[in-house]
Amino acid sequence: MDTRRIGSLTVSAVGLGCNNFGTRLDLKGTGAVVHAALDAGITFFDTADIYGRGRSEEFLGRLLAPHREQVVVATKFGMEMGNGRKGASRAYVRRAVEDSLRRLRTDRIDLYQLHRPDPVTPLGETLAALEELVRAGKVREIGCSYFGAGELTAARDAAGPGARFVSVQNEYSLLHREPERGVLEECVREGMAFLPYYPLASGVLTGKYRRGAEPPPRTRLSTNPEWARRFLTDQRLAAAEALAAFAAGRGHTLLELAVSWLLARPAVASVIAGASSPAQVRANVAAAGWQLAPDDLSMVDRLPEEAT
């Protein structure tokens, strides 16, 4: 497994997104996925306090305890946890980190991320609170999510000489290209790592969904009508079919194209792919091995739009 950098952290080029833990997967199912990830060389585990209302962190804390020195654990804070627990004020940052440390059974969080901008709390207050956590040794690096280019610039200016965001985690895939409108450029300019979530467009870029066909049973998009309406559009499925044909013509799969294309993009540090089975973990890791030629990259960039 290739490794890349997020600030001072060294992470596997393919990470494990942990939003299924405590929701779609119980502890036993989570354990099977986590152990498959470790066996495949994944060292980067990305979760959030909101995933499973804390259960994802709890499961990871139990399962990763014997491997704590060999893995990089990232979590997030800020979204509504119930009973008014949300936001990015200094007081809440202090409370949220202690809750996550307890659930994760660890004395430090490697990458602590603001899950989304807080419209109420000044960024300077949040960054000052995070700087305190870094100085106390409870957090090694800090990052953010759902930040646009302008918000990243504002965060840089607000940080001053203190701790700065070393990463931003936004949706990015062959079928969702919004980060190319400023965010990736800002990451390159500031030396920030970019972490794409939904890298497989909720499974559309695995090839298991087809136009005119019902979603396969027990898949996420077969049980969530709202997500199905968002991801299973004719436009997206047509683009996925064109991309799959391109990959097949070069002896590869659509999954391999989706992951390897992301790893070839500027600033991308680790592709955070979720999984609900050990087989999916192994497939995601294996997909990272295609080194796309420059001409192929240019062609792939145009295919989704041309297909629709």
pLDDT > 90 fraction of the chain, expressed in percent and rounded: 85
Least confident of 90-104, 150-164, 180-194: 150-164
User: Residue 239 domain-assigned?
Assistant: no
> Would you state the pLDDT for residue 205?
94
- The mean pLDDT of 99-103, rounded to a whole number, is 98
Rounded Cα distance between 51 and 210, Å, is 29
Q: Does 197 qualify as catalytic in the annotation?
A: no
Domain range for 40 is 3-232+254-290
Q: How confident is the model at residue 210 (pLDDT cuts 50, 70, 90)?
A: confident
**Interval 20-49: pLDDT, tens:** 999 999 999 999 999 999 999 999 999 999
> Would you state the pLDDT for residue 163?
87
Q: Average pLDDT, whole number, for the chain? A: 94
- Total structural domains within the chain: 1
Helix ranges, 105-198 (H): 123-135, 149-159, 183-190
User: Residue 102 domain-assigned?
Assistant: yes
User: Residue 264 domain-assigned?
Assistant: yes
Rounded Cα distance between 34 and 60, Å, is 8
> Would you state the pLDDT for residue 227?
67
Residue 103 has pLDDT above 70, yes or no: yes
**Interval 211-254: pLDDT, tens:** 777 777 777 776 777 767 888 888 999 999 999 999 999 999 99
Question: In this structure, what CATH number is given to the domain that contains residue 120?
Answer: 3.20.20.100
Instruction: Give the CB-side neighbour count of residue 141, counting CA atoms within 13 A.
Output: 20
Instruction: Give the CB-side neighbour count of residue 33, counting CA atoms within 13 A.
Output: 27
User: Residue 302 domain-assigned?
Assistant: no
- DSSP-based three-state secondary structure for 265: coil
Other CB atoms within 10 A of residue 304 CB: 20
Residue 8 gets the label, from left (phi > 0), alpha (psi -120 to 50) or beta, of alpha
- CA angle (176 as vertex; 255, 226 as ends), nearest 5: 90
Two tokens, residue 279: 């087989």
The CA distances from residue 232 to 54, 171, 215, 225, in Å, are: 30, 16, 9, 10
Widest distance between CA atoms in the chain? 55
> Would you state the pLDDT for residue 160?
83
Rounded Cα distance between 210 and 203, Å, is 11
- The mean pLDDT of 196-221, rounded to a whole number, is 84
Strand duo 3-6 + 9-12: pairing: antiparallel
pLDDT > 70 fraction of the chain, expressed in percent and rounded: 99
> Would you state the pLDDT for residue 197?
95
> Would you state the pLDDT for residue 88?
98
- The mean pLDDT of 268-284, rounded to a whole number, is 96
User: Residue 307 domain-assigned?
Assistant: no
Residues 6+ apart with CB under 8 A from 18: 45, 46, 47, 51, 56, 60, 274
User: Residue 240 domain-assigned?
Assistant: no
User: Residue 27 domain-assigned?
Assistant: yes
- The mean pLDDT of 271-296, rounded to a whole number, is 95
Which residue in 51, 92, 146, 197 is the catalytic one? 51
Could you tell me if 186 and 195 are in contact, meaning their C-beta atoms sit under 8 angstroms apart?
Answer: no
Residue 194 carries which side chain, given as an amino acid letter?
A: F
User: Residue 296 domain-assigned?
Assistant: no
Q: How far is CA 233 from the centre of its chain?
A: 23
